[in-house]
Structure 1
């Protein structure tokens, strides 16, 4: 299948299908491309837990600034109960370092659109890696039409909404939280 991915037409078709599939899954999330990652997350109504963690971690300036970033952001309903409880506990005790580690695992410097991810997957024969702002590696692969992100603990997230463009980057909504295992270890 990966040999077929080298066809530009197939890549465009897959990108269109991914976009359509992702939009159907999360069609209620609106983003204004003139606003920052932080402002759009605040206005979405779907990222309250993530925002609470951002405020404790003091990453607001980063996500509201001019530098370009890619954020793999779980919406509130994508936190399972144990992960949600762990994040709430970290926010309550204001564990800045641990929250920065978890959030940083979801942020990549630069604007990484779905088409760029797909191109990297094509040139990487179905596998590519990205370095987060914490220096950790996320591995991207495909399963059907889904882009799968795998962290160093083997935890996986699926991009459910791709290419929510912001004035300072892009948000891809994911279906779960990566790197939470580090805080349990």
Structure 2
């Protein structure tokens, strides 16, 4: 083996090792571990306590711990706080469980969609939007604006993806800054 070949193969090995050990993004300063599922990671995120409480109230914990894969657009606490006063409290009441399930499943898509997958789909569409359906059956659309990805609900409200590609054992989470509201 020549010195040049040795250097080239060493550089390749280092690059491969670095890629293999690349870390998932943290969320709210909390580590998100790829070997954990969506719920196991979400409960560790200090900026998703409202979402976790809502998932528990809606009896969706077991579903989101399932095999998947799922793509979840996960609104932060501030997104829930920005809803009209009393909305979250009303949704969390047991008698509104079906409505809460609909709102939450409007943030979940079947499959493991990376940000790059969403970007490619939006850029290859005729209108610049990738149109798809949430698990709830509600229509969602994705659009790339500059270097940002936005997810639109049926009413045209946009949620900006603030942290993309938080990989999970059963899918991927994209943190968003707004709640997607189904019709």
Q: Same fold (TM over 0.5)?
A: yes
After the TM superposition, which parts of structure 1 deviate over 2 Å for at least 4 consecutive aligned residues? 26-30, 77-85
Aligned to 2:133: 131
Counterpart-to-counterpart distance in 1, 2:73 and 2:107: 5
2:161 — aligned with what? 159
Query: What is the CA distance between 1:176 and its match in structure 2?
Result: 0.6
The correspondence of residues 39-78 of structure 1 with structure 2, limited to 5 A, is 39-78=40-79
Distance 2:57 2:76 in 1: 18
Deviation per residue, 1:115-159 (Å, 9 max, x gap): 110111122142111210011110111111111111111111100
State yes or no: 1:141 paired with 2:139: no
Which of 1 and 2 has higher RCO (CA within 8 Å, sep 6+)? 1
Task: Return the alpha-carbon distance in structure 2 between the equivalents of residues 149 and 82 of structure 1.
Answer: 17
TM-fit CA distance, 1:84: 6.7
Between the aligned partners of 1:83 and 1:168, the Cα distance in structure 2 is: 32
Q: Which is richer in helix?
A: 1
Give the unaligned 5+ runs of structure 2: 1-24
Tell which structure's C-alpha radius of gyration is larger.
2
Partners of 2:85 and 2:93 lie apart in 1 by: 12
Q: TM-score, normalised by structure 1?
A: 0.78
Q: Which runs of 5+ in 1 are unaligned?
A: 1-22
Number of residue equivalences: 158
Q: Which residue of 1 aligns with 2:80?
A: 79
Partner residue of 1:31? 32
Deviations, residues 17-63 of structure 1 (Å, cap 9, x unaligned): xxxxxx69x66242111100011001112211111111111111111
